[in-house]
Structure 1
Amino acid sequence: MKNQFFAICFLAINLACNSNSKTSNTLTKNQEPQPLEDSIKRGQPIYKNQCSVCHTPSGKGIPNVFPPLAESDYLIKKQTESIKAIKHGLSGKIIVNGVTYNGSMPSFSLSNQEIADVMNYINNSWGNKNSDVVTVDKVSEL
């Protein structure tokens, strides 16, 4: 009787450990890094610290002064130019959502990874949706 009790306890513990192990493997699989999602998360504080002063926390910009990034046709159609603007700065006329802006944007001392991350954040915030990941390689090419 005593041996049967120990055998049942051993079996119960073994099953519990195996079941936890399967759960743990499932969690690990579900928590694998998502390159775009991870990049967006890293880009949010960069945007807040570097970009939101002019483009505002809502991405709406300041009318006729700083262009919007939220639902911006320029951003959607001109990804390369947008990346270059962050990396090298921008001056002169651009048209965003039918409004002409003629100002300047300084370059920022950001790494290629930080530029990729902030672009991915901007591309997927405030109504923008772009599943194409801006990569470090893409940024470094520019």
Structure 2
Amino acid sequence: MNKQIILVFITGVVFAFFSACGGSENSRVPESIDKPVIVDAQDADILSGEEIYKKTCVACHQANGEGIANAFPPLAKSDFLSDRSQVIHQVINGKTGEMTVNGVTYNGNMPPQNLTDEEIAAVLTYVYSSWGNSGAPITSAEVGAVRSKKI
């Protein structure tokens, strides 16, 4: 009896494996994918910055950068972004207490982010180029300079 159950189980696993791995004529990779896509360095930073943003920032600041009313400030069209050093410092060291963004006072806690200088530069370059913001790219050297100040 146990051998029959095991045989049925193994047969089911093998069937599932071949069903999942099976291919068809339509599953071939299109020929156009063979050509490399050239992306300049700033675009690459924005792309990786978007991924970092999705993993690290989106829960509080939301996918649209508008934050959560009365809890987490917006990054979209944010006057807080005018002081680049302050923004970098806050990502590195976090912030507890009151801050005013676009005339609205927020009283919360942003924990320090455990990111490298390159990751901070990438995510902030993404923020500065998204949601109506138009800031220049952030460099890892700029982040390193703020980090070394230990304000």
Q: Please say whether Structure 1 and Structure 2 have the same fold, judged by a TM-score greater than 0.5.
A: yes
* 1:51 correspondence with 2:57: yes
Q: Which amino acid aligns with 1:107?
A: P
1:35 matched residue in structure 2: 41
Q: Which runs of 5+ in 2 are unaligned?
A: 1-35, 147-151
Q: 1:66 aligns with which of 69, 72, 78?
A: 72
1:137 matched residue in structure 2: 141
How many Å separate the matches in 2 of 1:133 and 1:45? 16
Aligned residue for 1:108, secondary structure, equals: coil
Q: Runs ≥4 in structure 1, deviation > 6 angstroms?
A: none
How many Å separate the matches in 2 of 1:48 and 1:128? 18
Per the TM alignment, residue 88 of structure 1 is displaced from its structure 2 partner at its CA by: 1.0
The number of aligned residues is 112
How many Å separate the matches in 1 of 2:72 and 2:83? 17
Task: Map 1:112-123; keep pairs closer than 5 Å.
Answer: 112-123=117-128
Counterpart contact for 2:128–2:137, Cα < 8 Å: no
Q: Which amino acid aligns with 2:42?
A: L
- State the TM-score, normalizing by the size of structure 1: 0.73
Aligned residue for 2:57, secondary structure, equals: helix
Aligned residue for 2:85, secondary structure, equals: helix
- State the TM-score, normalizing by the size of structure 2: 0.69
Q: 2:131 aligns with which of 122, 126, 132?
A: 126
Aligned residue for 1:121, secondary structure, equals: helix
Q: Which amino acid aligns with 1:36?
A: Q
Per the TM alignment, residue 104 of structure 1 is displaced from its structure 2 partner at its CA by: 1.2
